[in-house]
Amino acid sequence: MPPVDWDVRIRDQCTCRYCDLCGNGNFDIWLNLTIDHVVPGGGECADNKAVACHVCNSIKRKYHPKGSNLDERIADARRYIREKRESWRQRFEMMMGQIENRN
């Protein structure tokens, strides 16, 4: 892991910037945290990186967040990811209903 990624993990307190999953003090959760490039292709400096869990990172994928600084871009990506998570939740609840109907 590049040294800057350790700095980002410390800055972000080992917590996903998009869903607040907190790996601070919990090794199993910490293992599920990755480093996201906030703007894809936007560089390797700390100002373009954020802690993200695997789920949020895979939802965000190549989304280019809007904003003029890191905090604004993270806030925009957070909205985008939350909308996707909510649509997945609706599918999840439909699926749970289908499973229940089989029992």
Contacting positions for Zn ion (CB under 5 A): 16, 18-19, 21, 53, 56
Name which of 39 and 52 has its Cβ closer to Zn ion: 52
CA gap 49, 60 in Å, rounded = 13
Q: How far is the CB of 15 from Zn ion (least distance, A)?
A: 9
Q: Look at the block and give the residue holding tokens 């410390």.
A: 10
Contact 19, 81 (CB under 8 A): yes
User: Quick one: CA torsion of 91, 96, 100, 103, rounded to 10 degrees?
Assistant: 110
Q: How far is the CB of 4 from Zn ion (least distance, A)?
A: 20
Q: How far is the CB of 56 from Zn ion (least distance, A)?
A: 3
Name which of 19 and 99 has its Cβ closer to Zn ion: 19
Name which of 16 and 35 has its Cβ closer to Zn ion: 16
CA gap 50, 36 in Å, rounded = 5
